[in-house]
Amino acid sequence: MKLYVFMLFYLLQVGTIIQLALSVTCPEDNRVKMGVEDANCDDANTNLTMDWDGSAVNYTCYSTVPFEINLDIKTLIEHDTIPNPECYMPPHYCMNIKVDYPNMLPTYQGHRPLWAVFGEYYFVPPQRWLHNVEHGSIVMLYHPCANPIMVNKLRKLVTGCIRKHVIARDSMRLTEERPLALIAWGVRMTMNFVDTSEVIPFIMKYALRGPEAHYSKEGQYSHELIRKAAIPFGSTYDDSKLCPFVYI
């Protein structure tokens, strides 16, 4: 009996030591406050041309035929290596600073303090939608010349799976080979065509990730918004159930 008590005590001690060793102390979050409209930094209206000049070039297809579907082109899933992932918080940059990304489809870097209202747009610059990604969003981007059947199929999956989504066209960041993309915290998936059995698992696995993944507050940026996101049937404002009535 005594031995058991001793062993239990010993195990508890070891457990605490392991826990202490595993817990990481991160530096304080000193970023520009997010979600606060500040004309001296970012009010989702001033100096927007810093990120996008508003040109229709970025969301228009100038070809009369959509891109071809090629079932031989495999879907790509790429993970970015997030530096110091336990503590990493993407910086918030005011509108007087230019923000560029090494990758056409960034997945975790710094962005503007105000994020996009969830929903579908003509175009959203990455400096905005990346903030949504930090809040656990799924961002769907498609080339304006992508096949509309595929675009509709992907849109239906995304909107049926998660309220916290941003959907937009982008003619520069996507290729003819893979004109469709989903972006979540640290990961991107680019596709030639939509395979439901790839898309749903991707959303289930990677949505609601990121340092503020369960922050559900609405965004402030709504430039070129087409429609606001709705709560998927069977879920809640907080996306408590992903893809409730969407089936492979």
Ligand X SMILES: *[C@@H]1O[C@H](CO)[C@@H](O)[C@H](O)[C@H]1NC(C)=O
Q: Which is nearer to ligand X, 46 or 196 (CB)?
A: 46
Candidate residues 96, 152, 175, 240; the one interacting with ligand X per rule CB under 6 A? 96
Instruction: Report if residue 95 touches ligand X, rule: CB under 6 A.
Output: yes
Distance CA 216, CA 200 (A): 21
Instruction: Report if residue 196 touches ligand X, rule: CB under 6 A.
Output: no
Tokens matching residue 212: 């503020």
Helix (H, G, I), strand (E, B) or coil at 141: strand
- Binding mask 118-157 toward ligand X (x if CB under 6 A, else -) reads -------x--------------------------------
**Least separation, in Å, of the C-beta of 164 and ligand X?**
23
The residue at minimum Cβ distance from ligand X is 95
Candidate residues 57, 87, 226, 230; the one interacting with ligand X per rule CB under 6 A? 57
Helix (H, G, I), strand (E, B) or coil at 140: strand
Q: Which residue do the tokens 């402030």 mark?
A: 220
- Parallel/antiparallel/unpaired status of strands 138-142 and 165-169: parallel
The 8-class DSSP code of residue 61 comes to -
Distance CA 120, CA 227 (A): 5
**Least separation, in Å, of the C-beta of 204 and ligand X?**
30
Instruction: Report if residue 19 touches ligand X, rule: CB under 6 A.
Output: no
**Least separation, in Å, of the C-beta of 172 and ligand X?**
4
Using CB under 6 A, which of the segments 17-25, 47-55, 195-203, 221-229 binds ligand X?
47-55
CA proximity to 162, closest of 76, 105, 246, 78: 246
The 8-class DSSP code of residue 177 comes to S
Q: What is the dihedral of CA 79, 81, 84, 88, to 10 degrees?
A: -60
Distance CA 38, CA 12 (A): 50
- Binding mask 27-46 toward ligand X (x if CB under 6 A, else -) reads -------------xx----x
Residue ranges in contact with ligand X by CB under 6 A: 40-41, 46-47, 52, 55, 57-58, 94-96, 125, 172
